């Protein structure tokens, strides 16, 4: 096996893996379980909203014409015929000189064409009848929620490929979608390779460390919206690694491994790809960290060989696995959004490769700032907790000074974008 590897640009690596995502089939899920899922159909409005004329206030439904002569010194008195609560329908017709007490959300009685707020009126009982006093002129149509004011019937409401959030859930509920057509979630297998790895529950032992990447990846898969499947950790042997990857290929739509991907004696991922007859897509990328990030394809399924170094593993997932997963979920905007922010620290040492610095965004005085979230080395775990973005520092002959405007990839954003850049 050759030890020299030829790095390819990040954009090219993204493009290579993005050729493979296959859309999952549609399924129906309960509305209350649909948050974070992706719509498998366009959704149209099935009726206007509101679908009947209703009152936006607690007050009195009246004929505006009854108030033509009303003023501060010349109040009019209207007879109150009854009350409509939200959910009720008033059977009858309001005429000039009459009013019906109405609550917010109540259906406007026939004949009434305006509502006056309760606070602007005074009620009085006279000879067993109820009257309301109005001291101002009310316009026709005043304080009425008209049919279709919010949404008209037959409008395209939500496009296929939209990720469902609280607002879209409200819309789906409005139109009676107790079940929602969504794409099936891709199952993403996670394998941690390394004879040094202990489970989080195990005590430390000489030369050993706890497996943090495996659990970090499960969490990253969840954030991307897919279903994680933890295959487990494996010893650095070809047999054990191969068996785990085979199992993962049987059970999952996509396979992530961490570690064992570089040129060490016990780095078996390249050999596993070879044994499986998988088509290598790349095994070196012009970036830091995560230059050893590898990918291969077998029968249309992608295998990602992420670095063993925690920060490199994290970055490799976000740049390459996340858009693939999101495209498999049916999202039309699978890539992370980029924004421009002012760099808050110097990175003056020029680097031939693009750097992706785990960073934290902040707003101040109307500006967006990006600062590294901790130490910037690929074997570092400590900088990951605070990271909510990746600061993109393109490679080249120059370094980057504090104050420069740089691109930043958003990690917590659910909206995404349609292009890598």
Ligand X SMILES: Nc1nc2c(c(=O)[nH]1)N[C@H]1C(S)=C(S)[C@@H](COP(=O)(O)OP(=O)(O)OC[C@H]3O[C@@H](n4cnc5c(N)ncnc54)[C@H](O)[C@@H]3O)O[C@H]1N2
Nearer to ligand MOO, 233 or 358 (CB): 358
Taking the C-alpha atoms of residue 117 and residue 354, their distance in angstroms, rounded to an integer, is 62
SS3 category, 360: strand
Which residues touch 210 (CB under 8 Å, ≥6 apart)? 197, 198, 199, 200, 202, 204
Q: Which positions lie near ligand X, rule CB under 6 A?
A: 192, 194, 196-197, 209, 211-214, 258-264, 267, 289, 291-292, 307-310, 312, 378-379
| Least spacing, CB of residue 176 vs ligand X, in Å | 47
Q: How far is the CB of 311 from ligand MOO (least distance, A)?
A: 7
Instruction: Rule CB under 5 A: say whether 307 interacts with Mg ion.
Output: no
Nearer to ligand MOO (CB atom), residue 186 or residue 316: 316
User: Closest Cα partner for 192 from 280, 317, 297?
Assistant: 317
Closer CB to ligand X, 291 or 373, in the complex? 291
| Residue 356, Ramachandran bin (φ over 0: left; ψ between -120 and 50: alpha; else beta) | beta
Could you count the other beta carbons within 10 Å of the beta carbon of residue 159?
11
Q: Work out how close the CB of 281 gets to ligand MOO at its nearest, in angstroms, rounded to a whole number.
A: 16
| CA 330 remoteness from chain centre | 13
* Pairwise CA distance, residues 78 & 84, whole Å: 16
Nearer to ligand MOO, 4 or 205 (CB): 4
Q: Quote the CA–CA distance of 170 and 151 in Å, as a whole number.
A: 13
Compare residues 183 and 273 and give the one whose CB is closer to ligand MOO. Answer: 273
| Distance in Å, CB of 48 to ligand MOO, minimum | 56
Binding partner of residue 213 among ligand MOO, Mg ion, ligand X, none, CB cut-off 5 to 8 Å per kind: ligand X
Q: In the complex, which residues of this chain contact ligand MOO (CB under 6 A)?
A: 288-292, 307, 309, 312, 378
Minimal CA–CA distance to 280: which of 261, 258, 265? Answer: 261
Name residues contacting Mg ion, limited to 233-272 (CB under 5 A): 262, 264, 267
Residue 294 interface partner, choices ligand X, ligand MOO, Mg ion, none, CB cut-off 5-8 Å depending on type: none
Q: Which is nearer to ligand X, 264 or 350 (CB)?
A: 264
State yes or no: residue 394 binds Mg ion (CB under 5 A): no
Residues contacting 144, CB < 8 A, separation 6+: 53, 54, 55, 56, 108, 113, 114, 115
Where does this chain bind Mg ion (CB under 5 A)?
262, 264, 267
């Amino acid at each position: 096996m050759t030890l020299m590897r030829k790095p390819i640009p990040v954009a090219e690596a993204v493009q290579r893996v993005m050729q493979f995502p296959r859309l999952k089939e549609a399924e129906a899920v309960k509305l209350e379980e649909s948050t974070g899922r992706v719509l498998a159909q366009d959704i149209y409005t099935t009726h206007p909203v509101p679908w009947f004329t209703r009152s936006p206030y607690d007050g009195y439904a009246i004929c505006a014409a009854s108030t033509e002569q009303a003023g501060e010194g010349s109040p009019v008195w209207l007879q109150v015929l009854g009350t409509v609560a939200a959910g009720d329908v008033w059977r009858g017709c309001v005429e000039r000189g009459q009013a019906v007490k109405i609550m917010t959300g109540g259906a406007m009685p026939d004949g009434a064409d305006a509502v006056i707020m309760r606070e602007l009126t005074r009620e009085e009982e006279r000879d067993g009848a109820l009257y309301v006093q109005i001291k101002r002129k009310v316009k026709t149509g005043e304080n009425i929620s008209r049919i279709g004011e919010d949404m008209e019937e037959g409008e395209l409401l939500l496009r296929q490929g939209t990720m469902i959030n609280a607002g879209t859930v409200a819309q789906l509920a409005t139109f009676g979608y107790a079940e929602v057509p969504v794409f099936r979630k891709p199952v993403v297998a996670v394998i941690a390779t390394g004879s040094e790895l202990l489970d989080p529950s195990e005590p430390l032992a000489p030369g050993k460390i706890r497996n943090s990447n495996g659990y970090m990846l499960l969490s990253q898969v969840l954030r991307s919206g897919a279903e994680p499947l933890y295959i487990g950790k494996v010893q650095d042997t070809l047999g054990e690694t191969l068996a785990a990857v085979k199992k993962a290929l049987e059970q999952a739509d996509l396979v992530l491994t961490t570690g064992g991907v570089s040129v060490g004696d016990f780095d078996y991922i390249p050999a596993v790809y070879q044994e499986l007859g998988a088509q290598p897509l790349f095994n070196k990328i012009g970036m830091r960290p995560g230059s050893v990030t590898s990918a291969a394809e077998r029968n249309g399924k992608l295998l990602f060989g992420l670095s063993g170094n925690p920060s490199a593993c994290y970055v490799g997932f976000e740049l390459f696995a996340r858009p693939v997963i999101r495209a498999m979920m049916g999202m039309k905007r699978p890539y992370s959004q980029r924004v421009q922010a002012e760099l808050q620290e110097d990175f003056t040492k020029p680097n031939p490769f693009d750097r992706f610095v785990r960073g934290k965004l902040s707003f101040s005085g109307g500006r967006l700032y990006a600062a590294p979230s901790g130490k910037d080395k690929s074997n570092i775990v400590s900088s990951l907790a605070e990271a909510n973005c990746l600061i993109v520092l393109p490679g080249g002959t120059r370094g980057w000074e504090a104050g420069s405007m740089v691109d930043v990839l958003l990690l917590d954003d659910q909206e995404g974008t349609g292009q890598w850049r």
